[in-house]
Structure 1
Amino acid sequence: MSNELYISATPQGDRIALSQNKRLIEYHFDETEHQYSVGDIYFGTVKKVVSGLNAAFIDIGYEKDAFLHYHDLSPNINSLNKFTKDVIAKRPINLRLKNFNLEPQIDKLGKIGDVLQKNQPILVQVVKEPISSKGPRLSCDISIAGRYIVLVPFSNSVNISKKITSKQERQRLHKLLTSVKPENFGVIVRTVAEGKEVADLQRDLENCVEKWDNGMKQLKNAKPRERIISEMDRAASILRDMLNDDFDSIVVDTKETFDSLRSLLQNIAPQKEKILKLHTGKSKLFEQYGIEKQIKSLFGRSVSLPSGGYLIIEHTEALHVIDVNSGNKSTSEIDQEATALSVNKEAAIEIARQLRLRDMGGIVVIDFIDMKKVENKRDVHEVLKDEMKTDRSKYTILPISKFGLSQITRQRVRPEMNVVTREACPACGGTGTIQASIAVTDHIENHIEYLFTKQNEKKISIILHPFIHAYYKQGLISRQMKWFFKYKKWVNIIKDTSLGMVEYHFLDRNGDEIELNN
C-alpha cells in the first residue's frame, strides 16, 4: 500500500490531496485567511454563562461567540484559571509549571456557574470549527499534539493508545515516559510511538513543552481574542499524524511549501526527506497526477461503483443519506441475493472512502440493497468496519437492520468538504447556445497570427481542452510544428480537463494571460 500527498497552492489557499494506491481518499482546502482551526489555543473572555445549558459562551473573535460546555472544562480547570491569572498579572511564575501547586479537580456533575463568571479571562482550545450557523466549539482540556505524544498540561498521568496491544510495549512506554515527562504535565502516547527509541520520544516531548512555553510567553502581553498557540496547517498535520513507511511521495508546487515541509520532515522523519519533490512541470500539479479528474468524478450527487452499481448521496441539515443501487450489475450474478451481496460490498468500500473524502460528519444512514441472509448482512457490515479502520475521526457503526439500513455516527470537527461538480457552461454562460464549436480552431489560428504579426509576441502558450490539444499535436508534422515553420516562433500547448470544449486561454512568455478580443 502506497500513500501519496499532493499540495497545490492557489491565491485563496492550499489544495491538499491524499491518495492511496493512486486512489484519492482525502481532499482538503486550507484557506489562506482561515481562522479557528481545530487545535488552536485562544485567550478568550466569558461573555455569557447559561445555567440552563450548563455552558458558557466565549468571545474569541468570531462573529458568533464560541460554545463551551461544562463537560469540556477539564477536571483541572481551576489550575488552568489560576495559572492564566498569574501569567496575565506577570507574577513570578515558572511557565513550564515547575513547582506549580495544582488546584483540586472540579466535580464531574457540577454547575458551570460555580467555575466561570461573566467577563472572566480564560484560555480555551478549539475542538470543532464553525459549522453552518454555529460558532466554534471549545474545550479547556488543553493539549498540544506532537508526532509521538500529546502533551497535557496540569495533569500527571501517562496514558497509552489502546491500539498498542503488546503488554510488554505498553509497560516499556509507560515506564519511559513517566521517567522523562516534566512535572505537572501529563502525556498521551500515540500509536506511532510503538517501537520508537527513547531519543525520538524525548525530542518530541521537548518540542511540545517548548511550544507550550512560547505560547505562555505570548500570553503575558496578549489581548483578548488573540490566538496564543497555533495548530499546524492541514498538510503538516496530515504528515505528523499519518507519515509512515507506506508514504512514498510528497509533491508540492511552490518553493515556500517545499521549504516548510522539508523543515518538518527533517524534524520528525529525516529518512523521509528524499520523498519530498517540487513540481516544476508545465501542466498543473493536480492535472498531471490525475487528481483533478478524480475530484470532479467523486464529489457529485451520484458516484459510480466499479462493477456498474452506483451511490446516490443526499445531504440534509440533520443527516446524510446514501442510497445503494445495483445499476447494470443486476443481470451479471446468478441470483438476486448474490447481486445484492456483491454490490453492497463494493458500496461499503466506496462509502468509507466518501466519508473521509467529503469529511461527512454527524449521522449517516446507508440504505443497502435488501439481503435476506443474515450472514450476508454480517459480511457487508464487516467490510464497512474494516474499511473505516484507517479513518482518523471517531465513529460508531451499527449492524445492518432488518430494513437493510446501516447507521453511522462520525465526529465532525470542521465543515463538510463540498466540491461543485455541476458548472455553468463557460462557452454559453448558461444560455444554452454557443458559437459553432467547429469554428474554435479558426479563432485560435486567427489569434496566433494576430499575436505574432501585429502584437509582436515572442513566445506564447495556449491552454486547451484535451480534445483540441490532441487535434494540434497529432500527425507526423503536427499543426503545432506548422506554426513554427510559418512564424519561426514556438507555441507551447497545454491541456486542461477543467476547461470546456471551446474554451481556451493564451499566456505570454511570463505566464500572464493575454486579453483577447473575440
Structure 2
Amino acid sequence: MSSELVISASQKGTRIALLQEKRLVEYQVEESESSFTVGDIYLGTVRKLVTGLNAAFVDIGYEKDAFLHYHDLGPNVQSLNKLTKDVIAKRLTSGKLNNFKMEPEIDKLGKIDKVLGKNQPILVQVVKEPISTKGPRLSCDISIAGRYAVLVPFSNSVNISKKITDKTERTRLHKLMTSVKPANFGIIVRTVAANKDVEELDKDIQNSIRKWEQGMKALSEAKPRDRIIGEMNRASSIMRDMLNDTFDSITVDTKEMYDDIRDFIHTIAPDKEKIVKLYSGKSKLFEQVGLEKQIKSLFGRSVSLPGGGYLIVEHTEALHVIDVNSGNKSNNEESQEDTALHTNTEAAKEIARQLRLRDMGGIIVVDFIDMRKPEHKKELYDVMKAEMKADRSKFTLLPLTKFGLMQITRQRVRPELNIVTREVCPTCNGAGTIQPSILISDIIENNLEYLLTKQNERKVSVALHPYLHAYFTAGFPSPRLKWFFKYKSWVKLLKDSSLPITEFKFYDKDGEEIEIATT
C-alpha cells in the first residue's frame, strides 16, 4: 500500500495530509502560534492542591491551570523533583544520571499533598492538549520519544512493543537494549525497531539522550512557565512514527520546509531522502493533488459510502454518534440480511478512516443497520478491528450489542479537527438572498478592466471557483479570449475550489495578491 505525505504551509500554520492509495486517511492543521503540544516538557509551578480529586493544578503559562492527577505523577516523581531542584540550584550541570542517587518510589495509593507542595517548581510533560474549556493535562512520568525507542528517565526497565510478536526478535531486542541503555534510564522499544541492527538503535538512543541533556541545560537557566524540551512539529512526528517502505512521496510547497524535512529524513532514514519533493506549481498544492475536494466531501455531517449508503456523524460534548444508512443502494444481494452486512462492512471501513481523519476521541457509538445472524455480527466486528489496527491512538472496541450498537473509546490527546464544509454566503451573511450570481462575472470583468487599463498591470492571474473558471474558458471565442483581443494581454485563470462561488482573487506577475474591491 503506497503512502504519500502532502504538506502545505501558510501564514496561519501548516496543513498536513497523509494519503494511502491516493485516499486521505489523516489530516492535521498545525497553527503557527500553537503551543502546549503533546510531548512538550515545561517548568511549572504548583498553584493548587485538591485533595478531594487527589490532584494538583499547575501553572505552565496557559490561560487555565493544567491538571495533574496523582496517578500521573509516576513512581519516581521524587527523583524527578530532586533532579529539578539540583539543576535549578546549579548543583548539577549535566542530565546524566550515572551517579544520581534515586529516591524511593511513591505509594501507588498515596495522597498528592504528601508529594507536592503549593508554589513548588515541578517538571511536567503535556499528555493532552487543551480541549474545549479544559486546560492541558500533565504527567511527571517524563519520556523522550525517538524513532525506534522511547527513553524514560529514572527507570531501569526494558519493555518491548506488544506488536512485535516474534519471540526470537523480542529476546534479541531486549538483550541489545539492556546492553546499550545508560544507567537510570528505561527503554520502551517501538514496533519499527524490529529487525534493526544495534548501530541504528544505539544512534537513536544517543539522539534522545542528547535531547534530554540539552533540556537539563535549559532548565538550569529557566524561569517558571518556560518550555524546557519541545516536541517536534506534527509533520516530523508523523514521519518519525510512520515512515516505512510504503512511503513513495513527501511533497512540500516551501523551500524552508523542504530543507528541514530533507535534513530530518537524512537523520532517521537516509535511503528515503530522495522521496522529498518541492512543489513549485502556480496553483495551490492541495488543489493540484485533489485534496480540497476530498476534504470538502469527508468532513461534512453526511459522508457517502461507495455502494450508495451514507453515514450521519453527530458530535456532542460527551460523545460522538454515527448512524449507518443504506440510502438508495440497489439490492443486488440475495436478502435484506446480506444487504445490511455489505453496507455495514463498507461503513466500518469508512468509520475507521473518519476516526483518524477527524481525530475523534472519547466515546463513539455507532448505530449499524440491524443484522440477525450472529456470524454476521462477528464478521462485522472482525472487519472493524482489522481496519482500526492502523490507528496510532489507543482504542477499545466492543462487539455489537443486541440493539446493533458498537461502542468505541479512543484516546483523545488534542482537540478534534472540525472542518466547516458548509459556506455562509459572503454577500448576504446567511440571510438567504444574494445578488444574482450572473453579476459576479460582471464584477470580475470590471475589476479586470480597471487593472489592465488604469493600473497598467500585466500578466494578471485570477483565482476563482471552478464553476466561474468553466464559464470564462468555455466556448469559442471564450470570454477569456475576448479579453485577450480587447486588452492585448493574456489573463491566467486558476481553479480554486476552496473559494466560494462569489469570491475571487487577483494576482500580479510576481504572484502577489492585488487588493481590490470585490463588490
Contact 2:337–2:372 at 8 Å: present in 1 too? yes
Structure-2 separation of matches of 1:400 and 1:517: 54
**Counterpart AA for 1:515:** I
Q: Tell me the equivalent position of 2:353.
A: 353
Contact 1:143–1:152 at 8 Å: present in 2 too? yes
Deviation at residue 377 of structure 1 after TM alignment: 0.5
Structure-1 separation of matches of 2:153 and 2:29: 31
Counterpart secondary structure, 1:61:
coil
| Residue range with higher mean Cα deviation, 15-24 or 467-476 | 467-476
Change (3 A) 1:92 1:72: closer
What is the correspondence of 1:264-413 to structure 2 with a 5 Å cutoff?
264-329=264-329, 331-413=331-413
The Cα offsets for residues 123-177 of structure 1, whole Å up to 9 and x where unpaired, read as: 1100001111111111111000001010001111111111111111111111111
Deviation at residue 112 of structure 1 after TM alignment: 1.4
Gaps of 5+ in 2: none
Q: Tell me the equivalent position of 1:236.
A: 236
Contact 1:377–1:400 at 8 Å: present in 2 too? yes
Deviation at residue 262 of structure 1 after TM alignment: 1.1
Q: Tell me the equivalent position of 1:189.
A: 189
Structure-2 separation of matches of 1:340 and 1:356: 24
Counterpart secondary structure, 1:44:
strand
Q: Tell me the equivalent position of 1:21.
A: 21
Deviation at residue 330 of structure 1 after TM alignment: 5.8
Structure-2 separation of matches of 1:249 and 1:127: 30
Counterpart secondary structure, 2:501:
coil
Structure-2 separation of matches of 1:482 and 1:302: 42
**Counterpart AA for 1:512:** E
Q: Tell me the equivalent position of 1:516.
A: 517
Q: Tell me the equivalent position of 1:35.
A: 35
Tell me the matched-pair count: 518
Structure-2 separation of matches of 1:500 and 1:317: 30
Deviation at residue 478 of structure 1 after TM alignment: 4.5
| Residue range with higher mean Cα deviation, 504-513 or 425-434 | 425-434
Change (3 A) 1:445 1:61: closer
Deviation at residue 198 of structure 1 after TM alignment: 1.3
Contact 2:94–2:213 at 8 Å: present in 1 too? no
Structure-2 separation of matches of 1:321 and 1:445: 47
The Cα offsets for residues 156-203 of structure 1, whole Å up to 9 and x where unpaired, read as: 111111111111111111111111111111111100011112111111
Structure-1 separation of matches of 2:85 and 2:5: 43
Q: Tell me the equivalent position of 1:472.
A: 472
The Cα offsets for residues 469-489 of structure 1, whole Å up to 9 and x where unpaired, read as: 123334576443443343232
Deviation at residue 47 of structure 1 after TM alignment: 1.2
Q: Tell me the equivalent position of 1:161.
A: 161
What is the correspondence of 1:483-494 to structure 2 with a 5 Å cutoff?
483-494=483-494
| Residue range with higher mean Cα deviation, 280-289 or 467-476 | 467-476
Structure-2 separation of matches of 1:408 and 1:128: 19
**Counterpart AA for 2:298:** L
The Cα offsets for residues 306-329 of structure 1, whole Å up to 9 and x where unpaired, read as: 111111111111111111111011
The Cα offsets for residues 213-262 of structure 1, whole Å up to 9 and x where unpaired, read as: 00000000111111100001111100100000111111111112111111
Counterpart secondary structure, 1:328:
coil
Deviation at residue 277 of structure 1 after TM alignment: 1.0
Contact 2:311–2:347 at 8 Å: present in 1 too? yes
What value does the CA root-mean-square deviation take over the aligned residues? 1.5
1:252 matched to 2:246: no
Counterpart secondary structure, 2:513:
coil
1:88 matched to 2:76: no
Change (3 A) 1:477 1:277: farther
Deviation at residue 70 of structure 1 after TM alignment: 1.1
Structure-2 separation of matches of 1:30 and 1:87: 33
Deviation at residue 65 of structure 1 after TM alignment: 1.1
Counterpart secondary structure, 1:379:
helix
Deviation at residue 300 of structure 1 after TM alignment: 0.9
Structure-2 separation of matches of 1:432 and 1:115: 60
Counterpart secondary structure, 1:389:
helix
Change (3 A) 1:350 1:213: same
Counterpart secondary structure, 2:390:
coil
Structure-2 separation of matches of 1:58 and 1:439: 57
1:179 matched to 2:179: yes
The Cα offsets for residues 72-116 of structure 1, whole Å up to 9 and x where unpaired, read as: 111111111111111011114542112111111112111212211
Contact 2:3–2:246 at 8 Å: present in 1 too? yes
Structure-2 separation of matches of 1:125 and 1:287: 37
TM-score by length of 1: 0.97
Q: Tell me the equivalent position of 1:460.
A: 460
Contact 1:4–1:19 at 8 Å: present in 2 too? yes
Contact 2:161–2:190 at 8 Å: present in 1 too? yes
Counterpart secondary structure, 1:125:
strand
Counterpart secondary structure, 1:331:
coil
Contact 1:427–1:503 at 8 Å: present in 2 too? no
Contact 1:94–1:100 at 8 Å: present in 2 too? no
Q: Tell me the equivalent position of 2:214.
A: 214
Structure-2 separation of matches of 1:10 and 1:211: 29
Structure-2 separation of matches of 1:431 and 1:114: 60
Structure-1 separation of matches of 2:326 and 2:27: 27
Q: Tell me the equivalent position of 1:12.
A: 12
What is the correspondence of 1:423-434 to structure 2 with a 5 Å cutoff?
423-434=423-434
Deviation at residue 427 of structure 1 after TM alignment: 4.1
